[in-house]
Chains A and B, each alone.
Chain A
Amino acid sequence: MLQIKNLTKIYDGGVKALDNVSFDVPDGQFLAVIGLSGSGKSTLLRCINRLIEPTDGQILWNGEDITKATPEEMRRIRRKIGMVFQHFNLVHRSKVITNVLAGRLGYTNPAWGLVNRFPKSDIEKAIKQLERVGIADKANHRADELSGGQQQRVGIARALMQDPEMILADEPVASLDPVLAHSIMKHLEDINDSDGVTVLCSLHFLDLVHRYADRVVALNQGQLVFEGLPKEIDDKKFKDIYGRDAERVG
């Protein structure tokens, strides 16, 4: 169970990206985070694994306060939280397999990193994850030789390497075409369904939300403006989330 309590983030320049946000996510839920560009979706997701330091508030995960964790505790927490990014964030010049293995870094001893060494079991595991997302044949290609959809699969394989209990996906399909978008979303759905991994996924398209999400939270200028089931988003709620002048498309 993930509990967000009165989370506030004020950036150095004074921008209030999150304003007293509170909500809970039960284990195994597929939660969509929606909102306009600049509403604070990325900030929210990054606060959860403290890529961004929250200014105020608490994030409790299975009772442990993530905001108070020491660096060492943070390493242990982060390795259980996989993350998938809009721009994939692969290391371009490294091989696909190395990118996937990097998901294991929270477990491996840093001393062995100096000699670029992973246990055999991890390498087998990496191949298995690549098979699961259907690109095992690309294992020895350089990451930047892959298409966008393939790169995002590598991103998912990397997150899977962490044996995650939760996945944070920040607009995972925003730079992909609709067909690819569905295939990537299906992978996330499968991970959510068969492995019981909690998924927090920010999305721009409501049809994807309706199709994949169990529950939705919506942000507007850093404030939580909606929390509920996808089908509860009626025209009025829609205007609350996206503003008076917004038109529904798709």
Chain B
Amino acid sequence: MNNQKASPWKSIKLGLSVLFGLIVFAYGFQITKVNLEELRSETRQESLVRVTRALANPDLFEYEREEAVINQPFYTPCPENATVPTSDESGAYIVVTPACANPGEIVTVEGFNFAPYSIGPVRFVPGSDITNIVTLGRENAETDGNGHFVLEMEIPDRPSDDVQYIRATIRTNVGSPHLTKTAYDTWEKIVETVFLALLATVFGTLFAVPLSFIAARNLMKPVRSPLTSLSFSLLGWPIGMAVGIFIVRLVSQFIAPFTSNLLVNILLVLIVPALLSVVIRWALPEEDTTIPTSGLRATRFIVLVIATLIGFVWMYQFSALLMNSGNLIAPKLGVFTFLGYFLVQIGDIFQVSIPVVGALAAGSVAGNFFGKLGQNISEKLNSGTVKIINLVSSATAGATVFGLIGWLVEWLYQLGRPEYTQTGPIVIGALLGLLLALTTKPKDTLPTGLVIYYVTRTILNTLRSVEALVMAIVFVIAVGIGPFAGVMALGLHTIVSLAKLYSEQVESIQAGPLEAITATGANRLQTIIYAVVPQIVPPYISYTMYRWDINVRMSTIIGFVGGGGIGFLLQQNINLLNYRAASAQMIAIAIVVSLMDYISSVMREKVV
């Protein structure tokens, strides 16, 4: 191996690089404050021992305790005329030899008739008050099988003519051990931790699945659309969303007076779906063998719009039903009150999300409809006309998109400078749109799918590089300390990392079935459902389990930054130097993590 020629220059280079390495290393040592002396110092070692002992002795179980408190009168120095007190030997008692002594002298304290195998302190009680809780000196007594102990103690420097006392407080455990408060708290928090992980995983998965399809190159690459269709669709979305929100508002105002009565809720929630299913069956026939006439299509569309409106009425009634029934039953459930509040909360979340659903639904309908209109224009009209339409629609679409982004910036930062957030973006957007329309041939298709793919991928990769713990800090600032911030942070991190993993699975599916299903005339949605989904179910399940495992781990420490779960308790106890409690929490974490690891590996084995 060493067949290179010796060269002084090489050796110097080696020496220099070693020197450089040493400097870097030394600098590293300095800034990370590596200091072995610290470890060796007396105080450090002592506290290390203390911490280790506490950790080995988690605060999980405790006994009810019985105390035997015996006060033996004692004189120091020995009195000249008073008699030396003797011990009352009827129950437990202590004998001090000698019976009196000068300050600083050592006496022997012997105890009799105490509970066997018990421990407790023997202390000197200064002053003549037998109930004094201020004591001096402390020796630990440990009784043998006969309830007897012997120890020596030094009489403190508290000379007095009055009687003083030597007190033995021997404590015995009675009954069977029971869980400490720490154990209960730990249990409560570990449950919170597991559920935090579960919620984050469920929400994360729900969002990651659709995202993974638009982050998959093989699905997005064939998606191309002519500029006319693209710009029409871009215009359709915001218009549709605005209309959607407006309509949902109207519906909610119309329905508001009818939501307070539980009976009305139940009635409508049950009747409306039956009605809707009949209507939808007619308007969305399972199969169209012949092409429907445009009149029939229009009627079906109108019927569907009306059905959607009724659908929103149903959603409002449903959320009202949840809240009303939750409020009604919550006080009557006793231990299960939380179930009632759960209903109320779900109803609330549902209600808040109705306008969002409405906006998205109307937006996608309008976007789709306008897109198809654009597609038809681009296919059927001649190039010159299409070019003119493109110039106009593309400029308008650009202006709209940039204008909306500007509006968002204004809303977020409140700059108050319309030239930056309104006129500026609108003009730039319009110009970019014009430029795009000028440079593309009127009927050429643009790789819309690939653009969406790259944008999605970039966002996913950026977010994925942010640690979940950092996200938790951001969310703690945004929504306050507590498990909600933790769920948001873990959920977001789950979305981005699962979307990436999932989309890689989508990219590695067999292309053959995709081709075959497309050839039958299936549209994109059907192709995904029948050709893609069956191929990706097993890896999706296995990745989700894996992620749940990670989330349990993460949720145990996310509390360190205020994200809820057991980490919060652990950190508090460490800061309060309450190591026995911290030890209990660490044990809980270890058990839960290894249990999750085991469960998830078993389940992954089963599905794959």
List residues of A whose CB falls within 8 A of some B CB: 49, 51, 68, 70-72, 74-79, 81-83, 85, 87-94, 98, 102-114, 116-119, 122, 155, 158, 161-162, 168
A71 to B288, CA, bound (A): 17
Known contacts A102-B522, A103-B520, A106-B522; A91/B531 CB under 8 A: yes
In the complex, the answer to whether A91 meets B535 with C-beta atoms within 8 Å is yes
Q: 24 A-B contacts, Cβ less than 8 Å apart?
A: A74-B521, A75-B522, A76-B521, A78-B518, A79-B521, A85-B512, A90-B513, A92-B510, A92-B534, A93-B538, A102-B516, A102-B517, A102-B522, A104-B520, A105-B517, A105-B520, A107-B287, A109-B285, A112-B286, A113-B526, A116-B529, A155-B516, A158-B520, A162-B521
Known contacts A51-B515, A94-B534; A119/B286 CB under 8 A: yes
Which A residues lie within 8 Å of B538 (CB)? 93
Q: Which residue of B lies closest to A81 (CB)?
A: B519
A89 to B372, CA, bound (A): 30
Distance in Å: Cβ of A198 to nearest Cβ of chain B: 16
Distance in Å: Cβ of A161 to nearest Cβ of chain B: 8
Which A residues lie within 8 Å of B512 (CB)? 85, 87-89
Question: Given contacts A51-B518, A91-B531, could you give 18 more A-B pairs where the C-beta distance is less than 8 Å?
Answer: A71-B375, A85-B512, A89-B513, A89-B515, A91-B530, A91-B535, A98-B530, A104-B287, A105-B517, A105-B530, A109-B288, A110-B525, A111-B284, A112-B284, A113-B529, A113-B530, A155-B516, A158-B520
In the complex, the answer to whether A90 meets B516 with C-beta atoms within 8 Å is yes
Q: Which residue of A lies closest to B378 (CB)?
A: A70
The 6 closest A-B pairs by CB, nearest first: A106-B521, A79-B521, A89-B512, A105-B522, A78-B521, A89-B516
Known contacts A111-B284, A113-B529; A75/B523 CB under 8 A: yes
Q: Which of A70, A75, A89, A118 contacts B375 (CB 8 A)?
A: A70
A76 to B520, CA, bound (A): 10
Which B residues lie within 8 Å of A114 (CB)? 525, 529
Q: Which residue of A lies closest to B512 (CB)?
A: A89
Which A residues lie within 8 Å of B284 (CB)? 109, 111-112
Whether a CB of chain A sits under 8 angstroms from the CB of B379 is yes
Whether a CB of chain A sits under 8 angstroms from the CB of B356 is no
Distance in Å: Cβ of B505 to nearest Cβ of chain A: 13
In the complex, the answer to whether A109 meets B517 with C-beta atoms within 8 Å is no
Which A residues lie within 8 Å of B285 (CB)? 109
Known contacts A75-B521, A102-B520, A103-B520; A110/B515 CB under 8 A: no
A157 to B512, CA, bound (A): 17
A230 to B289, CA, bound (A): 37
Judged by DSSP, the binding face of B is helix
In the complex, the answer to whether A113 meets B520 with C-beta atoms within 8 Å is no
Which A residues lie within 8 Å of B517 (CB)? 91, 102, 105
Distance in Å: Cβ of B289 to nearest Cβ of chain A: 6
A122 to B287, CA, bound (A): 10
- Report which residue of B289, B523, B537, B538 has the largest number of chain A beta carbons within 10 angstroms of its beta carbon: B523
Known contacts A78-B520, A93-B535; A109/B515 CB under 8 A: no
Q: Which residue of A lies closest to B445 (CB)?
A: A53
Q: Which residue of A lies closest to B518 (CB)?
A: A51
List residues of B whose CB falls within 8 A of some A CB: 284-289, 291, 372, 375-376, 379, 510, 512-513, 515-523, 525-526, 529-531, 534-535, 537-538
Which A residues lie within 8 Å of B372 (CB)? 70, 72
Q: Which of B515, B520, B529, B530 contacts A85 (CB 8 A)?
A: B515
Distance in Å: Cβ of A105 to nearest Cβ of chain B: 4
A76 to B521, CA, bound (A): 7
Q: Which residue of B lies closest to A88 (CB)?
A: B512
A111 to B284, CA, bound (A): 8
Which B residues lie within 8 Å of A90 (CB)? 513, 516
A143 to B289, CA, bound (A): 28
What is the count of residue pairs linking A and B with beta-carbon distances less than 8 angstroms? Answer: 114
A109 to B535, CA, bound (A): 22
A190 to B237, CA, bound (A): 50
A232 to B529, CA, bound (A): 47
A184 to B291, CA, bound (A): 33
Known contacts A78-B519, A113-B525; A108/B513 CB under 8 A: no
Q: Which residue of B lies closest to A87 (CB)?
A: B512
Known contacts A70-B376, A91-B530, A113-B530; A51/B286 CB under 8 A: no
Which A residues lie within 8 Å of B516 (CB)? 83, 85, 89-90, 102, 155, 158
A90 to B517, CA, bound (A): 9
A72 to B284, CA, bound (A): 17
Q: Which residue of B lies closest to A77 (CB)?
A: B521
Distance in Å: Cβ of B40 to nearest Cβ of chain A: 63
Which B residues lie within 8 Å of A116 (CB)? 529
A33 to B409, CA, bound (A): 60
Q: Which residue of A lies closest to B280 (CB)?
A: A111
In the complex, the answer to whether A108 meets B287 with C-beta atoms within 8 Å is yes
A168 to B531, CA, bound (A): 20
Distance in Å: Cβ of A225 to nearest Cβ of chain B: 27
Which B residues lie within 8 Å of A102 (CB)? 516-517, 520, 522, 530-531
Which A residues lie within 8 Å of B513 (CB)? 89-92
Q: Which residue of B lies closest to A86 (CB)?
A: B512
Q: Which residue of B lies closest to A114 (CB)?
A: B529
Which B residues lie within 8 Å of A89 (CB)? 512-513, 515-516
A114 to B524, CA, bound (A): 12
Distance in Å: Cβ of A38 to nearest Cβ of chain B: 19
Which B residues lie within 8 Å of A158 (CB)? 516, 520
Q: Which residue of A lies closest to B523 (CB)?
A: A110
Q: Which residue of A lies closest to B535 (CB)?
A: A93
Which B residues lie within 8 Å of A94 (CB)? 530, 534
A105 to B520, CA, bound (A): 6
Q: Which of A85, A87, A110 contacts B526 (CB 8 A)?
A: A110
Which B residues lie within 8 Å of A98 (CB)? 530
Q: Which of A51, A72, A161 contacts B519 (CB 8 A)?
A: A51
Which A residues lie within 8 Å of B287 (CB)? 104, 107-109, 119, 122
In the complex, the answer to whether B379 meets A107 with C-beta atoms within 8 Å is no
Which A residues lie within 8 Å of B288 (CB)? 107, 109
In the complex, the answer to whether B522 meets A117 with C-beta atoms within 8 Å is no
Q: Which residue of B lies closest to A108 (CB)?
A: B287
A83 to B516, CA, bound (A): 7
In the complex, the answer to whether B534 meets A91 with C-beta atoms within 8 Å is yes
A122 to B534, CA, bound (A): 21
Q: Which residue of A lies closest to B537 (CB)?
A: A93
A83 to B523, CA, bound (A): 16
A114 to B517, CA, bound (A): 15
A75 to B85, CA, bound (A): 111
Distance in Å: Cβ of B307 to nearest Cβ of chain A: 12
Which B residues lie within 8 Å of A107 (CB)? 287-289, 521
A172 to B288, CA, bound (A): 30
Which B residues lie within 8 Å of A118 (CB)? 286
In the complex, the answer to whether B291 meets A76 with C-beta atoms within 8 Å is yes
In the complex, the answer to whether A105 meets B375 with C-beta atoms within 8 Å is no
In the complex, the answer to whether B521 meets A105 with C-beta atoms within 8 Å is yes
Q: Which of B375, B379, B520 contacts A106 (CB 8 A)?
A: B520
Which B residues lie within 8 Å of A72 (CB)? 372
In the complex, the answer to whether A162 meets B520 with C-beta atoms within 8 Å is yes
Which A residues lie within 8 Å of B537 (CB)? 93
